[in-house]
Amino acid sequence: MRRRNLSLVILFCFALLLAACDGVPLVGSPSPTSTPPGPPVIVLSAPLDGSTLPVGSEVLVRSTSIDAIGVARVELYVNGSLVATGTPPDGETVPRLNLEQPWLPDSEGEYILSVIAYRADGTASGPATVIVRVGEAEEVAGGVTGGTTGDTAGAPTGGTGPAGGNGVFAATPSTTLADDGGGQTAGPTYTYTPSVTPGGPTLTPTYTYTPSVTPGGPTLTPTFTLMPSATTGGPTLTPTYTLTNEPTLTPTSTPTTPPAAQVAPEDARFNAPLNIPLDSTASVTDFVSYPDGDTEDRIQWDITGMNPNAALSGGRARLIISASCFGTGTQHVQFSVGGQTFFCGQTIVDREVTYDNRTGQVVITAVAGEGTYVQWALTGTATRTN
């Protein structure tokens, strides 16, 4: 009986020991651990990589972010600069966030667009990146596939301004539930939907270039109309060009009667003599014209003050006479001296004279040229040589 009671006590103590150790793992047995989730995942679906977008038109950058813990915000970067931040409503985190973040390219060139998703603790996804080209409307010749040109006006509810600055744009939830890939409902999908402001821009922007009218020639007024049409993956921009040829401006002029040609008045054909004092200079001038008026003048020259004795001082002198002309048709005026013919601008006499041969004659004639009217001048110099 004593042995039986001892056995019961031992079994009772062993049961208490097992109860005390319940839930404590055995030494050397592995402890269960949980695998931490990876970073958020983000996909940029529009615009497409390599697409061409028109300058000055709003682009909607579409992305989808997924995270098991929850997406807190999505940031849009253009060429490394933050231009927009999107968040779920009320500052909550969601397992899946669809966003359309607006961006306004204001100049031509190549741009790198990147979107990054963040958890509330700052854990970031890898960037989803595309490279797009921005050009003028006429450069988008073949259509822009993969572009996401915005077609509404006004900032979304909760937004702080249009794309291009560091605005924060809140999203509004849709009624669609997203599948996380394993047959489980991951939660609602949030899509950014901007509101439409009455009186805002339409889907068909029109660009009209009207140059000023230039007198004396035609003015071409090209009109460029940009017609975006929806395609899978984004709108296709199909530019149409209308060229309007404005009437040719023909300048009018009132013909004026040209003034009548000047005519030299008729005279006695023997003009004032050219008297040249010894060791001095003298000149004479008159007009000739052709075909009408005085076509011929005659001039006699004489050197005054010479010594009749050629052997004495002042008995010999060098005579130089030159001809000058001014007016219309000077090339048609001739100077005749001693059987030789000279023209305007030439020296017509250059010789040594004495008292006995100190005189002579020049005939000035306008021989051709319609409207010839010339003022001629003879300048003579007599310098003693003894």
**Is pTM, for the whole model, over 0.95?**
no
Who contacts 46 (Cβ-Cβ below 8 Å, separation ≥6)? Answer: 60, 61, 62, 146, 147, 148, 233, 234
pLDDT score for 99: 92
Closest listed residue to residue 146, CA positions, set 258, 40, 53, 56: 53
pLDDT score for 140: 62
pLDDT score for 243: 56
Contact 276, 319 (CB under 8 A): yes
Query: What are 275's two structure tokens?
Result: 């008297």
Looking only at the bridges linking them, the beta strands covering 59-71 and 128-135 are unpaired
Cα of 90 vs its chain's centroid, Å? 47
pLDDT score for 89: 82
Tens digits of per-residue pLDDT, 198-222? Answer: 454 444 444 444 444 455 655 555 5
pLDDT score for 359: 96
CA dist., res. 90 & res. 324, Å (int) = 103
The residue to which tokens 């100190």 are assigned? 358
* C-alpha pair distances (Å), 130 with each of 96, 168, 197, 222, 302: 21, 22, 30, 34, 103
CA dist., res. 156 & res. 322, Å (int) = 97
pLDDT score for 267: 85
Burial class of residue 364, CB neighbours in 10 A (0-12, 13-18, 19+): buried
Contact 90, 45 (CB under 8 A): no
The residue to which tokens 């813990």 are assigned? 69
Cα of 48 vs its chain's centroid, Å? 29
Closest listed residue to residue 279, CA positions, set 314, 311, 321, 322: 314
Give, for 18, the enclosing helix (H) or strand (E): helix 2-21
Q: What is the dihedral of CA 357, 362, 363, 369, to 10 degrees?
A: 150
CA dist., res. 70 & res. 95, Å (int) = 4
pLDDT score for 34: 55
pLDDT score for 155: 34
Who contacts 337 (Cβ-Cβ below 8 Å, separation ≥6)? Answer: 348, 349, 360, 361, 362, 363
CA dist., res. 323 & res. 386, Å (int) = 27
CA dist., res. 375 & res. 230, Å (int) = 85
CA dist., res. 44 & res. 98, Å (int) = 10
Query: What are 335's two structure tokens?
Result: 């100077």
Enumerate residue ranges in the chain where pLDDT < 70. Answer: 1-36, 137-253, 255
Contact 276, 380 (CB under 8 A): yes
Dihedral sign of CA atoms 68, 71, 76, 81 in order: negative
Give, for 4, the enclosing helix (H) or strand (E): helix 2-21
Query: What are 169's two structure tokens?
Result: 């744009």
pLDDT score for 136: 80
Closest listed residue to residue 148, CA positions, set 109, 91, 105, 207: 105
Tens digits of per-residue pLDDT, 5-60? Answer: 555 545 555 555 444 444 444 444 444 445 567 999 999 999 999 999 999 999 99
Contact 50, 102 (CB under 8 A): no
pLDDT score for 215: 56
Which residue type does 54 have?
A: P
Tens digits of per-residue pLDDT, 239-264? Answer: 555 555 656 666 666 767 777 789 99
Contact 372, 267 (CB under 8 A): no
pLDDT score for 260: 79
pLDDT score for 199: 54
